[in-house]
Amino acid sequence: MNFVFYLLAALTLGGGLAAVLLKHLVHSALATTVAFAGLALLFLQLDAQFAGFAQILVYIGAVAILIVFAILLTRGSDLPKGGVFSATWFVGLVIAAGVFAVLGWAVLISVEALPQQASVPAVTVHDIGIALVGRYVLPLEIVALLLTAATIGAVIVAMHEKGAPK
Amino acid sequence: MAANLDQIFIHLRDWLVAFLPVVLRPATGVLLSVIAIVCVFPGLFALTTVFERKGLGRIQNRLGPNRVGPFGFFQPIADGIKSLTKEDIVPLSANAGVHFLAPLVLVVTVFMGFAVLPMGRNMVLVDMDAGLLFFFAMGAATELSVFMAGWSSRNKYSLLGAMRAVAQMISYEVVLLLSSVSVVMISGSLSLPKIVDAQNQYTGVFPHWYIFTPWGLAGFIMYAIAATAETNRSPFDLPEGESELVAGYHTEYSGFKFALFFLGEYLAMFSISGLGTTLFLGGWSAPLSFLTFIPSWCWFFGKVMLSIFVFIWMRGTLPRLRQDQLMNFAWKFVLPFTLLDLMVTALWRFMGDGWLRWVVCTVILGTAYVFMARLQWRQKHIGPRSYRYAE
């Protein structure tokens, strides 16, 4: 159990590091996919089937494809001459470390705040569905509305203006 | 006897496993099932290539392969030996690592999809609670391998083919998912064996397959269209349109890597037909109640091979679509109709038993189909045909 966890953690971290450190943008995108896959496997290792498969479906099937499409369509696949590292990498590092510290602190606090559960609760897809359209129906609807608005916005941005030359 | 024949593979596995110590038994059982899947489907692939080439030959008024073995049936063996011994060429400027990984990712993810398909009574490798989701997650991962292949070849035809393939697969994946959602709504489960169980009932001699309901028929047609597009089969085979793109994303692949792409394409056809069979055609259940004495796995594979035959038939009959036709068809006809079908399914679910829901659902779907078809036909502006000849 523990060994598998460390293996998956190494895979995820390796993918994430490669995404940051590799020179080629498409390689970085593919490395991000490896990190996504590692996260999905971590979910599966925790017996969270639904979350794990949804992670693969959404992140590998949609987000990763979106990233590579964006890279290809914006001519970003050529290697930049001045190196891939931004001039403000140090500030970025500090902010990332800060966010990580806050998240880590929050997680460590929650371990003490929540009572330790003896057994893993068995959550089926059925339970998740009931919870989504029952207790959490308002957040679900808000997210749906937000996504619809985003889709309409994207279509408007992409649309040809009337009368303007194509 | 019939029950024994039905479970013959399960008994065979249990009999083989019983030779081992108890500790090793579960793992070996799974291993044997995996080996069976990994052997059976490539075997079917070999058979299908012969049938496809002979069938296409018949449709195009020629003979097809007839040199190797009786009636040319050993052709796939010759093809296999050829692709194994051929030189494996990697273009000089290709991205070697990604170029190598792409066919592997494709074949592995496609094989994973078979893990959740129930191929007969009790014949499912993993009965997952979220089996359908697993299947689609694996299907989504194959898109990435297509992109990897096209991009890493560093060839404009490959890249164009990959972009076309990915755009097409994303568009039709929405339809594929939504048409399956209606089945999930009625059966109330994401587990494929449970979906088959829900359809394995009979009224008189007729089964409760979902295709025999108004929403199921509409959903199945939409699913079949989306499945054809997902597997890049004709008439949706633009990603490998020979006349424009050489061979699309696998232009720069040769030898066994090309064979792997070929294998991946056919395995994807099998798995998506298997899923369609499971969702709409009752999986391994018999089409008439007095035919249940025939083993369940015969029905499953029979239905899958029937779907494959329809795929081949369509390939021999229909011309290829243009890119804009493909996209317009997906987003302006198939997707709205699938969404409507989802609503009708909800109506079906809450109208209760009785003949009224049959009439209401059929009328809604029929009217919508006629209305949408008329509307889009009117927007077409089909003028007189003009021909241009080379001078």
Q: Give the tens place of pLDDT for each residue, B67-93.
A: 887 887 888 888 888 888 888 888 888
Residue B64 pLDDT: 81
Q: Does B130 sit within 8 Å of A64, measured CB to CB?
A: no
What's the whole-number mean pLDDT along residues A41-51?
Answer: 84
Closest CA in chain A for residue B188: A126
Query: Does ipTM come in above 0.85?
Result: no
Return d(Cα A131, Cα A126) in angstroms, integer.
9
Do residue A75 and residue A1 come from a single domain? yes
Q: Is the pLDDT of residue A84 over 70?
A: no
| Yes or no, beta carbons of A49 and B128 under 8 Å apart | yes
Cα(B1)–Cα(A159) distance, integer angstroms: 66
Query: Same domain, yes or no, for A75 and A16?
Result: yes
Identify from A125, A127, A130 which residue to disrupt to test chain B contact, counting B C-beta atoms within 10 A and taking the largest count: A125
User: Could you tell me the pLDDT band of residue B223, with boundaries at 50, 70 and 90?
Assistant: very high
**Are B137 and A60 a contacting pair at CB < 8 A?**
yes
**Confidence check: pLDDT of A101 > 90:** yes
DSSP state of B71: G
Token code pair at residue A132? 């989504």
Q: Span B312-331, mean pLDDT?
A: 84
Between chains, do B129 and A124 touch, taking CB under 8 Å as contact?
yes
Q: Look at the pTM and tell me if it is higher than 0.80.
A: yes
Q: Where are the alpha helices (DSSP H) in chain B?
A: 2-6, 8-17, 25-59, 75-85, 96-113, 131-152, 156-187, 192-199, 214-230, 242-245, 255-280, 296-317, 323-328, 335-350, 356-378
Encoded tokens for B155? 């060839």
For residue A72, give the CATH number of its domain: 1.20.120.1200
pLDDT of A76 higher than 60: no
Tell me if chain B has a CB within 8 Å of the CB of A65. yes
In this predicted model, what pLDDT tens digit does every residue of A24-44 receive, in sequence order? 788 888 899 999 989 998 888
CB contact under 8 A, A57 and B137: yes
**Residue A75 and residue A125 in one domain:** no
Q: By residue range, what is the domain housing residue A69?
A: 1-79
Out of B133, B170, B188, the one facing A65 most closely (by C-beta) is: B170
d(CA B108, CA B93): 26
Q: Which residues of A touch B149 (CB under 8 A)?
A: none
Q: Could you say which residues from 171 to 210 on chain B have a Cβ atom under 8 Å away from some Cβ of chain A?
A: 173, 188-190
Joined together, the tokens standing for residue B276 give 């369609």
Substitution target from B93, B101, B133, B146 for chain A, most A beta carbons within 10 A:
B133
Q: What are phi and psi of B206, to 5 degrees?
A: -90, 140
C-alpha to C-alpha distances, B370 to B332, B341, B348, B366, nearest whole angstrom: 14, 14, 21, 6
| pLDDT of the residue at A153 | 92
Chain A interface, mutation test: which of B116, B143, B327, most A Cβ atoms within 10 Å?
B143
| A98 domain residue, yes or no | no
* Mean of all residue pLDDT scores within chain B: 84
B170 close to A (CB below 8 A): yes
Sequence-distant (6+) residues with CB within 8 A of A157 are none
- B167 closest CA partner among A28, A56, A37, A62: A62
Does residue A104 lie in a domain region? no
Among A46, A79, A112, residue at a domain's last position: A79
Smallest CA–CA distance, residue B21 to chain A, in Å, is 24
DSSP assignment string, B286-318:
-SSGGGTTS-HHHHHHHHHHHHHHHHHHHHHHP
- Identify from B135, B168, B190 which residue to disrupt to test chain A contact, counting A C-beta atoms within 10 A and taking the largest count: B190
**pLDDT at position A149 over 90:** yes
- Å from A55 to nearest chain B CA? 8
- Domain coordinates of chain B in residue numbers? 2-20+30-320
Give the per-residue pLDDT at A64: 86
Nearest to A57 among B136, B159, B190 (CB): B136
Are A65 and A133 part of one and the same domain?
Answer: no
Which residues are CB-neighbours of A118 under 8 A, at least 6 positions away? none
* pLDDT score, position A163: 63
Q: What percent of chain B has pLDDT over 90?
A: 3
Query: Does residue A53 belong to the interface with chain B, where contact is any CB pair within 8 Å?
Result: yes
Angle made by CA atoms B338, B342, B345, in degrees to the nearest 5: 130
A63 touches chain B (CB under 8 A): no
B143 reaches A (C-beta below 8 A) = yes
Closest CB from B137, B151, B163 relative to A56: B137
Whether residues B98 and A30 touch (CB distance < 8 A) is answered with: yes
End-of-domain residue from the set A79, A112, A141? A79
Mean pLDDT of chain A: 82
Kindly report the nearest CA distance between residue B177 and chain A, in angstroms: 11
Give the tens place of pLDDT for each residue, B2-36: 677 777 777 787 788 788 787 777 788 888 888 88
Is residue A85 one of the residues assigned to a domain?
Answer: no
Angle between helices B192-199 and B255-280 (to 10 degrees): 40
Domain annotation covers residue A28: yes
Number of domains in chain A: 2
Q: Which residues of B247-267 are buried (b: 16+ CB within 10 A; e: fewer)?
A: bbbbbbbeebbbbbbbbbbbb
Q: Which pLDDT belongs to residue A120?
A: 65
